[in-house]
Structure 1
Amino acid sequence: MRVTSLMTTSALALTLALVAPSGVLGAALFNSHQNPLVLQGVNGVSGSSGSSSGLLTSAAGPYTMFQHSAVPGYAMRAKELKLCDKNVKQSAGYFDVNGKHFFFWFFESRHKPSSDPLILWLNGGPGCSSLTGLFMELGPCSVSEGGKDTPINKNSWNSNANIIFLDQPTTVGFSYSDNANEDVSNTADAAQDVYNFLQLFLQANTKFASSPFHVTGESYAGHYIPAIASAILAGNADVGAPDSDEGLLEINLASIAIGNGLTDPEVQYAYYSEYACGNPYGPVFEQSECDTIASKYGTCKSLIGGCYRFQTAFTCVPGAIYCNSAMISPFQNTGLNIYDIRKECDSSNPLCYTILNDIEAYLNRADVQKELGVDVEYKGCNMQVNQRFMLAGDWMRPYVNLIPEIINDGVKVLIYAGDADFICNYMGNRAWTLELDWFGKDGFNEAPELDWVSKTTGRKAGIFRTYGELTYLTVYEAGHMVPYDQPEHSIEFINQWILGGNATFVL
């Protein structure tokens, strides 16, 4: 049986997730070159230097250690690197709390780091590493066959932005934990860890503290990103409050951008049958098969509706089991790439792309791991995390309900989707933006859909609709990983988005 995970979205039926390999990946303890200190809380770091700002720093071998009174119990260790793109300043390390260790890799902008925006990029899964985004999609470099080299990516999103790649939750990528009981199993708890990481990262890198900040990602990040934005806005509301932790920063959240995301399952699952027989590249099934899939949506919708109302594992797991089996499994049996219907699934990797093998080969090289300061076996996706979130009922929960309040706070929202992706297809993503209940719904629905002709290539690159703070964009000739399939177009639209300065998106 070929197991398909949401690489960036694990789209896998729960019944398949349950047969995925078990065993926690990367549950290694610190070794001597990683962290010789015992983290004892904010006042317990020996040899640390403090300031009135509440930031404490210390040296620990190749690392600089950071703690701050505003986020007690949390610590960050970082070291400068010369990997990937050696022409930009970069650092990597871990964010540590309660036996959880989150790996991050940060690259400064190729342009003007001190004034360019700051981006956080997240891949999905749940359980897949954001280093997939780094090396396969939008980072400063790619990987060559066998992981032997790292060619420069001229279309990297750090061309005009500083960018953080974060492996979360724990046991994803190079992240690990000392105690499985501390591992989170839902998006809301994961978002709080990310918020605390951002607090400490910005306290330690004050030149970015006031930069416009954009949370971006794809696939299951359609869950993660609304929750993270909500946590940031809640934290911002607490800054300066009488009972808030002294020294908390107000994070300058400017926008969120979700690519081929799973955000509103109740709406999105309705479009699997329509996409299968009505996508731009030709039908995947005979019409009778699409009709059969469509006939099962009524039960699927009812189950998801129960999850939306009660949001418990008991009410949410059944929808994940039934809907994924009824709506997604038929495609998995075709042998096509579920992330790009134009291609056959590459049998060398369960996630259909040979480059993922190359990324694993590179990141498991001894010299690369030594430079990164890690001793954890790197795997692109951890199916145990996928199973954990599934069994907690997280898959079908309505994180879409957080979007209106995010918009109400003046944060711009970009939803984009490649038109060749099946698993989080553009039809479903377009539909939920039209159904979203927010103050600008009527204006958004009445706004025209406009062709996007790329200034870079001169080609018709997509179609978009925009009104106020909300924009929806279909990207032509792209699958689930838009920056991988359309690198020139992806850097063009993301730069327009983060540098345009206007609430209305114009291409």
Structure 2
Amino acid sequence: MDNRVFFLGLLLFVFGGVNGFPMNDVIEKLPEQPNVTFRQFSGYIDTDEKAGRSLFYYFVEAEKNPMNLPLTIWLTGGPGCGSVGDGFLSVGPFITTANAHGLQRNPYSWIKVTNLLFIDSPIGAGWSYSNTSSDYEVGDDSTNKDLLTFILQWFEKYPNFKSRDLYLGGSSYAGHFIPNFANALLDYNKQSNSFKFNIKGLTLGNPLLRNKLDTLAVYDFFWSRGMINIDLHQQILKECNGIDEDNYSNNATKWSESCQQAMDKAEMAAFIVSSVNAAKARRFDVLRDPCDEKWEDLVLGKEVTKVSYEVDMCIPFRADFYFNIPEVQKAFHGNRTNLGYQWKGCFEKSGLKYSDVDKDIDMLPALKKILQQSIPITIFSGDQDAIVPTVGSLNHVNKLAKDMKLNLTKDEAWNHENKGGGWMYSYGNLLTYMTVKGANHHVTFSKPSEALFIFTNIVLNRSH
């Protein structure tokens, strides 16, 4: 143990009770991690001891002046992807080295401006688990209840952050998680006579908001990019009609056979492949080829990279490898259930069964409820994403603004580092939608500098 780690431990021992930091959850140092001055913590919080249900978290202090900066909670989507792992390829302090055996600083981490809390949610994502098998059959409501229980207990562990400015952020299916969570916290505030959550803003990346319309928007996107011809696009409009921004319902929609066939044909035509599954795997980023996964190369210590249009597409793959190193799991205080399968950013074998019905829920009412309480919302979307395309998200935002009677106050290009960053639509001081040029479904991964710019200059600045 080096002197710095010993001194940190001594400080925690002496001041742990005073400053409200749990000694047992401190991470002394992750394997092959560069030396840093900020502190890291991780561990489990039981949300139902009787059921044996527990959520895993990773907390990182801001790199400078952490006691005077806000707290941001980050959740990723799936549903079923681990937010903690996502932190190592997006907004967290580190990304893996090229051989995945170590870490390097993330120059665009949000810890430059905020403290960060990542929560593996729902049960079955990341290292969160339950000893009760029925807990793996989850949906929006059960996930939200667990998150509320979690954060109340987390604040008991970290009382200094109770009164801190709080921001909620996430990507993809976090378009459900984050608005639901925000409303749960706001409802708690109404009932509480003492402690209240100090929510200052929400930020959502490529969020799933109206699943059925987001699905149809995929084919509008393909046609607008010249990936399918007008005849195929018109066929989909004809066969898959009946849903628009004004008649959306939460009832699960089963596409007709003719509609599904036209969709499948468009998928394969768009990516010039003979398999629908192969086509859907390319939706994440229509500009770049995916990483050539060679696990054996990483085992041998070789470097695995694939840089395409300035993005290393192998960063997520390398994070998967790093999180499977036993010493890493030990340092994280994670995997206390000793998983019988490899850790993956998005688990396939955890037994998680998420409600398909909940995926079709319209999230605009939840966003409207938040805006009505003067909590600003910023949405940013990568323009190379064909999972939740910008064309659909902009329609949802326009519908939300219309329902809220919010006037469009900005409709202009925005720049970053003397280059075009994308397009910005602002509706007063409450609602902003921004496209991010060249970004895929995961803006914080593919355009991290732009994501940090948006968070710092739009999300944080607007609430002050």
Query: Above 0.5 in TM-score?
Result: yes
Deviation at 1:321, TM superposition (A): 10
1:273 to 210, 213, 219: 219
Supply the AA of the counterpart residue of 2:76.
N
* Residues 291-314 of structure 1: CA deviation (Å, up to 9, x unaligned): 333333315669x945x2xxxxxx
1:184, CA displacement in angstroms? 4.8
Aligned to 2:298: none
> What's the counterpart of residue 452 of structure 2?
491
CA contact (8 A) 2:212 2:253 kept: no
Q: Is residue 279 of structure 2 the alignment partner of residue 339 of structure 1? A: no
Matched residue, 2:440: 479
Going from structure 1 to structure 2, the CA distance change for 1:205 and 1:327 (only over 3 Å counts) comes to farther
> Which residue number in structure 1 is paired with residue 232 of structure 2?
289
1:468 matched residue in structure 2: 429
Shift in alpha-carbon separation, 1:169–1:329, aligned structure 2, 3 A = farther
Counterpart for residue 215 of structure 1 = 168
Partner of 2:407: 443
Report how far residue 458 of structure 1 moved: 1.1
- 1:316 equivalent to 2:252? Answer yes
Which residue pairs with 2:192 in the alignment? 239
Equivalent residue for 1:188, pick from 107, 127, 141? 141
Q: 1:82 aligns with which of 26, 29, 32?
A: 29
Q: What one-letter code is carried by the residue in structure 2 that aligns with 1:408? A: Q
Instruction: Quickly say closer, same or farther: Cα 1:322–1:81, change in 2 above 3 A.
Output: farther
Asked if 1:145 corresponds to 2:92, the answer is no
2:210 to 260, 264, 273: 264
Are positions 1:429 and 2:372 aligned together?
A: no
Are residues 213 and 329 of structure 1, via their aligned partners in 2, closer, same or farther at CA, if it must alter by over 3 Å?
farther
**How many percent identity over aligned positions?**
22
Distance in 2 (alpha carbons) for counterparts of 1:95 and 1:144: 30
Distance in 2 separating the partners of 1:189 and 1:383: 20
Give the letter aligned to residue 341 of structure 1: V
2:367 to 400, 403, 410: 403
Q: Give the secondary structure class of the aligned counterpart of 1:237.
A: helix
**Structure 1: runs of 5 or more not aligned:** 1-50, 64-77, 241-247, 309-314
Q: Which amino acid aligns with 1:487?
A: P
1:127 and 1:384 in contact (8 A); partners too: no
Alpha-carbon displacement from aligned partner over 1:129-160 (angstroms, at most 9, x marks no partner): 11342111111010123421111111101111
Deviation at 1:113, TM superposition (A): 0.6
Q: Partners in 2 of 1:405 and 1:89 — Cα distance?
A: 36
Distance 1:319 1:397 in 2: 16
Distance 2:82 2:29 in 1: 21
Q: Is the CA contact 2:90–2:448 (under 8 Å) kept in the aligned structure 1?
A: yes
Distance 1:228 1:136 in 2: 23
Q: 1:319 to 1:238 in 2, by over 3 A?
A: farther
Instruction: Determine helix, strand or coil for the equivalent of 1:452.
Output: strand
Q: Distance in 1 between matches of 2:261 and 2:189?
A: 41
- Amino acid paired to 1:422: A
**CA–CA distance in structure 1, aligned partners of residues 290 and 106 of structure 2:** 25
CA contact (8 A) 1:146 1:362 kept: no
- Shift in alpha-carbon separation, 1:320–1:140, aligned structure 2, 3 A: farther
> Do the aligned partners of 1:100 and 1:183 also contact (CA within 8 Å) in 2?
no
Deviation at 1:80, TM superposition (A): 3.5
Task: Output the TM-score relative to the length of structure 1.
Answer: 0.74
Question: Cα distance 1:487–1:318, how it changes in 2: closer, same or farther (>3 A)?
Answer: same
Deviation at 1:329, TM superposition (A): 7.9
Structure 1 residue aligned with 2:306: none
Q: Which residue of 2 aligns with 1:96?
A: 46
Letter in structure 2 aligned against 1:383: E
1:381 to 346, 366, 369: 346
Instruction: Provide the secondary structure at the position in 1 that maps to 2:88.
Output: helix
Q: Deviations over 1:85-106 (max 9, x none)?
A: 6321110001113211111000
Deviations 1:390-418 (A, max 9, x none): 44x11101122111110111111111101
Q: Work out whether residues 201 and 463 of structure 2, in 8 Å CA contact, stay in contact via their aligned partners in 1.
A: no
User: Deviation at 1:341?
Assistant: 0.4
CA contact (8 A) 2:138 2:352 kept: no
Residue by residue, what CA displacement relative to the aligned partner does 1:175-212 show, whole Å, maximum 9, x if unpaired?
11111112352112211211221112222212211111
Q: Secondary structure at the match of 2:154?
A: helix
Alignment of 1:19-38 (within 5 A): none
State the alpha-carbon separation in 1 of the partners of residues 230 and 463 from structure 2: 44
Q: Give the conservation status (yes or no) of the 8 Å contact 1:273–1:294.
A: no
Please tell me the root mean square deviation across aligned C-alpha atoms, in Å: 3.0
**Counterpart-to-counterpart distance in 2, 1:176 and 1:216:** 23
Give the direction of change, closer, same or farther, for the CA distance of 1:143–1:267 in structure 2 (3 Å limit).
same
1:72 aligns to what?
none
User: Relative to structure 1, is the Cα distance of residues 198 and 387 closer, same or farther in structure 2, using a 3 angstrom cutoff?
Assistant: closer
SS of residue paired to 1:477: coil
Cα deviation, 1:418-466, whole Å, max 9, x if unaligned, reads 111000111111110001166643413xx33111112xx1111111111
Q: Which runs of 5+ in 2 are unaligned?
A: 1-16, 268-275, 295-311
CA contact (8 A) 1:328 1:423 kept: no
Q: What is the one-letter code of the residue matched to 1:340?
A: D
Counterpart Cα distance in 2 of 1:299 and 1:180: 38
- Measure, in 1, the Cα distance between the counterparts of 2:442 and 2:92: 13
Do the aligned partners of 2:59 and 2:117 also contact (CA within 8 Å) in 1?
yes
Distance 2:204 2:364 in 1: 12
Aligned residue type for 2:136: D
Shift of 1:382: 2.2
Q: What pairs with 1:494-505 in structure 2 (closer than 5 Å)?
A: 494-502=455-463
Q: Which among 100, 104, 107 is matched to residue 154 of structure 1?
A: 107
Note if contact 1:440-1:468 (Cα within 8 Å) is conserved in structure 2.
no
Preserved CA contact (<8 Å) 2:47 2:149: no
Contact 1:434–1:441 (CA under 8 A) maintained in structure 2: no
Q: Take 1:353 and 1:494, find their aligned partners in 2: how far apart are those partners?
A: 23
Helix, strand or coil: the match of 1:471? Answer: strand
Equivalent residue of 2:96, what SS?
A: coil
**Distance change >3 Å, CA 220–CA 327, structure 1 → 2:** farther
